[in-house]
Structure 1
């Protein structure tokens, strides 16, 4: 064990020395690639080979319909396909679906599936698998966060309540055709179908409430461009090319997905054991000087934010949340930690998306305003300089998932800023899967349950638009508190509920935008999430790899196009 640690230490030392010797000048930017040296000569792509990509967090499971996180989808996007996928302009295009027809009344959608598609074990993919997947999301025992996708379908609520033995609004026409009928026109319906289709023949005899424990979570069968090979816990997941993929065989033979501490992964880049990995912003000037690798930035439609548990008595008062927002110097966070890779966020909807309202309440950095709001809420400073009310100090713990250095550093600055105004905050570092158990808690027998005031106080995470802003409904709608969705902050507001439902029925995009903007304004007033910044994520990529083109859909979304240059 000692020898292993010494080897890692030696690699880290060499890497540190190399970085210190490299130029600290900002790298020039051309399109998505940043290099401070002459770009490597383009080599001819060859067929085959292995690429190793590393991420900071290990997946929790590999079933795409169970509380999917970015750590999970980094892998599942390569294994599973969905009916539809968003293109780079957020327009939904076919994946397993060849095309589809929409009825004149806007309530029926008939999907024509691609023919000849097979599951990785050789079984044929059919419309029955699609029916099975979406019916399962409405099963009364399913409690893994995706019911909102099928709620608009005729008969889904009755099936969920156990009053029907099938969903009448899902109809299999033949092996390659399936029809969905919604209760009324539902604007984001097609985008809600962007979720992996799971195999009926593997899971049909398993209750959806038990899927999380099923062996297929550790050995998934999909239809995607890569097949699962093995998962070495805490180390890596190995995938191999699906040579019979309906979209064309991947260029690579294998992809290895590793996970671990950012410094260790960077050291592995130095030893050339890893080809692709995220880079802490602080290391980008030096990493860009490596002669065998370049920097590629991942664009995103996401916002990093602080979320509060509104079951906590301190955070029930909106004035406390607003005060904490005024006590944050977002510009200092961005300039200190992110530099050119970040920008201040004042909206939880990404600034480059049509859902962003340009006219929102802005919480400027103002410690006097923060103090006034706390005093208005009944808090006074005690002898230790900490605000207290009814003898209880304004003190809480922030859960900070490890793995992303910028997020970890942001938490440290937040602690300093809040303590400066008299609010006590402790940081609890934990891995991402452990944080998920706090935000989406379970009973002793493994069932999802509602969040309580004792599960957590606050946390820092990122969230973004994957396909449609209707995704926010599951995070802020009263009906979507765990175990029914992702509203783990337990936010509830009748106006927001009404607007979120109303926008789903508005087909006119301009009118729908206005409704979403109203949602954004009300959420900005309530500050149950405090938006901090938007960030583009730099990756280091070995020059032998071509085709790596991450965007808001994910770092591995186009993995079938990756190749090795000769």
Structure 2
């Protein structure tokens, strides 16, 4: 029987049985990715770079919390793992009004939270109104739900006309709105006391679900449930027997009975744990690739796979425009262009990534055939002599003969360069930059911090220069908090951010090119004409390349090592909401 007919038959049979023990099911089938139906059982063990600082996704931006959230909670919509198309998740279907301003989501019926409480539209409206759009939530996203219409800021509204329906009304159409709705949904009955609706202050949401919370209180609707937690050691999850996804054979996902996440800091330590058989899967760097590939060829019980996935995190180096000592220097595009010439991207690609990377040229992924603009011709190539000459022209010269250039105020051009000390990749990049900067009389003092603290260090402005990697998404609108001046993650120029959460950005602090980029993202939110949107975002990429708010370094390939007893493996990015192949993995 052809697979599509088989899937249709399975769907019909499951739907016929639905109403007793199962929630309204979604049949998932990815034969083109090599996935096959499997049986339930076994334990899979993955690494975590550090202990999660919280169990609440919206309380802090943290990769470890995000990784766990991806397997414990669900969103209204999700990505198709093969095509990246948006598909139903907690929303079984939706309707959009003719003018594109009203989205009506019809929720999947019969879904329950892990404690057995029914999941309803009240949970969705609560998550959006009390958490996601809460301007004080450290990892919320209030700006995504404010539209500029006729010069005024207007919010999206959320309503639940009944338990199975959520209506979102937009001030204007938005081409990327549905794509955005991959926010994890959280339980109102557990989190109400931490919200304004429950009588708390807005900032109190950040105190919800600390990691000493009894795990029975931390409930989702996702494929796995919290079972155990030992700080600094392990997070244990068990299979949700009532999950709403089934495979084409009618078996409920997930396949693994248990997931264990071991806290292992540093990629060298993680590699050792993987090679010892203590981890099922490991994302590896280009530097680790030759050793792992040699072991695979020699007959090791694992294979090395690469992925051309749309998502990824190209590292960049950023200078703090608001640094008290060097704000005028770091905020000058001519200085950043000079320093761009001192970044040897080709060496990083060859020596750090073993050639398994490319020059990115833009914050948009090259694999994105729609929005990607090849700005590599606008990037300045590595040329230390040209970098030195450009600094000379700016009057940044060694005026006291100590080997370090002086800025016009007379201060030595000596600053800290912060990086992720848990990563040998970032350590190597930082060392290369330090050495090359030194050759042109710029002194960078390396400051290593734990990987889990890197982004928070940037967001706090507690750095002078820093190396950070931020991921790509399939639509630039989804990266608006990073790349729109004044955004919550626009960390290199924090003075552009609103004086109070949810307020107007500080336009007075913006350069003209930043104001134009701000307008581009503002227009892109409500522009529905695809050709016009593409033109806008390509202009942004050119402005980004010309003004170098950050210096893009490299776009590494996605590489993983996976033991042979792991079936249905698809490269997992871990922190991209709505993209989660882990429920499909099984133990052979």
- TM-score between the two structures when normalised by the length of structure 2: 0.80
Relative distance call for 1:515 and 1:460 in structure 2 (3 A) is same
Per the TM alignment, residue 66 of structure 1 is displaced from its structure 2 partner at its CA by 3.2
Aligned partner of 2:381 among 360, 364, 379? 364
- In 1, Cα distance between the equivalents of 2:277 and 2:136? 46
> Does residue 486 of structure 1 match 2:483?
no
Distance 2:372 2:563 in 1: 36
Residues 46, 110 of structure 1: CA spacing in aligned structure 2 closer, same or farther, 3 A cutoff?
closer
Corresponding residue for residue 498 of structure 1: 519
Question: Please, which of 313, 330, 338 is the counterpart of residue 315 of structure 1?
Answer: 330
For residues 500-555 of structure 1, the C-alpha deviation after alignment (integer angstroms, 9 at most, x for no partner) is 11111221222101100111111112211111111123222111111221155759
* Correspondence for 2:403 among 385, 390, 394: 385
Alignment pair present for 1:258 and 2:253: no
Q: Which residue of the other structure, out of 83, 94, 104, is the alignment partner of 1:100? A: 94
- Picking from 345, 349, 352, the partner of 2:367 is 352
CA distance in structure 1 between the partners assigned to 2:148 and 2:90 by the alignment: 20
Q: SS of the residue aligned with 2:385?
A: helix
Match for residue 296 of structure 1 among 305, 308, 311: 305
Q: Out of 77, 101, 124, which is 2:70 matched to?
A: 77
Residue 463 of structure 2 is aligned to residue 456 of structure 1 = yes
Change (3 A) 1:518 1:96: same
1:387 is paired with a residue whose SS is coil
- The whole-number CA distance in structure 2 between the counterparts of 1:280 and 1:158 is 43
Deviations 1:94-129 (A, max 9, x none): 111111111111111111110001111111111111
Match of 1:56 in 2: 49
Q: Any stretches of 5+ residues in structure 1 without a counterpart?
A: 1-30, 34-41, 160-166, 442-450
Measure the CA separation in 1 of the matches of 2:91 and 2:489. Answer: 28
> Do 2:572 and 2:581's aligned partners in 1 also have CA atoms closer than 8 Å?
no
**Larger deviation: 544-553 or 395-404?**
544-553
The alpha-carbon deviation at position 173 of structure 1 amounts to: 1.8
**CA drift at 1:486:** 1.2
| 275-284 vs 210-219, greater mean Cα deviation | 210-219
Offset at residue 463 of structure 1 (A): 1.7
Match of 1:540 among 561, 567, 585: 561
Q: How does 1:515-554 map to 2 (within 5 A)?
A: 515-551=536-572
Match of 1:238 among 236, 239, 260: 236
Q: How far apart are the structure 2 equivalents of 1:478 and 1:282?
A: 34
1:211 pairs with one of 180, 193, 205:
205
Deviation of the 1:321 alpha carbon: 0.9
How far did 1:466 drift?
Answer: 3.1
> Deviations for 1:244-269, whole angstroms, at most 9, x for unmatched residues?
00113311110011122322222222
SS of 2:268's partner is: helix
TM normalised by structure 1 equals 0.83
Instruction: Single out whichever of 459-468 and 320-329 deviates more from structure 2.
Output: 459-468
User: C-alpha displacement at 1:361, in angstroms?
Assistant: 1.5
Q: Distance in 2 between matches of 1:387 and 1:225?
A: 57
What is the CA deviation profile of residues 38-89 of structure 1, one whole-angstrom value per residue up to 9, with x for unaligned ones? xxxx999542110111143443333222344433322111011011122343
**Deviation sequence 1:314-346 (CA, Å, 0-9, x none):** 311111111111111111110111124211222
**Which 4+ residue blocks in structure 1 deviate beyond 6 angstroms?**
none
Structure 2: runs of 5 or more not aligned: 1-31, 196-201, 246-251, 497-509
